[in-house]
C-alpha cells in the first residue's frame, strides 16, 4: 500500500465510510489528526502524511481500539473468533459455565 492509498483509506475510515485496513493506516491517522485527515486533500497532506506513514509501517503498533484483530496474524484472528463462538454456544445453554 502506498502512502497515498493509505491516506485515501484513512479519509474514508475516519468519516465512517470504510474500515481501517491496517494498524499503520489507523495510527498514521491518529498522529496526523482524524479531523485533519477528513478535511485534507492529498496534495496538501502528502509531505506530512508520507513522513508519518514511513514511520508507522516500520513500527510494531498496538491494536486499533475497538478493532483489535485488524493486523493480527490470521491464526490469532481465527482462534479468537472461534473461541468467542464457543463461548456463545456454551454460555447460551449453561449460564454457570465459563462465566
Give yes or no: residues 87 and 49 share one domain. no
Q: Any idea which of 25-29, 56-60, 84-88 has the lowest mean pLDDT?
A: 84-88
Grid cell at residue 99:
462465566
Q: Please check whether residues 84 and 47 belong to one and the same domain.
A: no
Question: What are the cell numbers at 22?
Answer: 491496517
Residue-level length of the chain = 99
Residue 36 and residue 12 in one domain: yes
- Are 75 and 54 contained in the same domain? no
- Indicate whether 55 and 85 sit together in one domain: no
Cα(97)–Cα(99) distance, integer angstroms = 6
pLDDT of residue 67: 60
State whether 52 and 23 are in the same domain. Answer: yes
CA distance 3 to 49: 7
Domain identity same for 54 and 85: no
pTM listed for this prediction:
0.65
11/30 same-domain check: yes
Helix (H, G, I), strand (E, B) or coil at 96: coil
Res 54 pLDDT > 60 = yes
Q: Which domain holds residue 50?
A: 3-65
Amino acid at each position: 500500500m502506498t502512502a497515498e492509498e493509505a491516506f485515501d483509506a484513512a479519509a474514508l475510515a475516519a468519516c465512517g465510510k470504510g474500515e481501517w485496513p491496517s494498524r499503520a493506516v489507523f495510527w498514521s491517522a491518529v498522529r496526523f489528526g482524524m479531523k485533519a485527515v477528513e478535511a485534507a486533500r492529498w496534495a496538501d497532506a502528502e509531505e506530512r502524511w508520507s513522513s508519518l506513514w514511513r514511520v508507522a509501517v516500520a513500527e510494531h503498533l498496538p491494536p486499533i481500539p475497538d478493532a483489535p484483530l485488524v493486523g493480527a496474524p490470521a491464526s490469532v484472528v481465527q482462534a479468537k473468533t472461534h473461541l468467542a463462538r464457543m463461548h456463545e454456544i456454551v454460555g447460551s445453554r449453561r449460564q454457570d459455565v465459563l462465566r
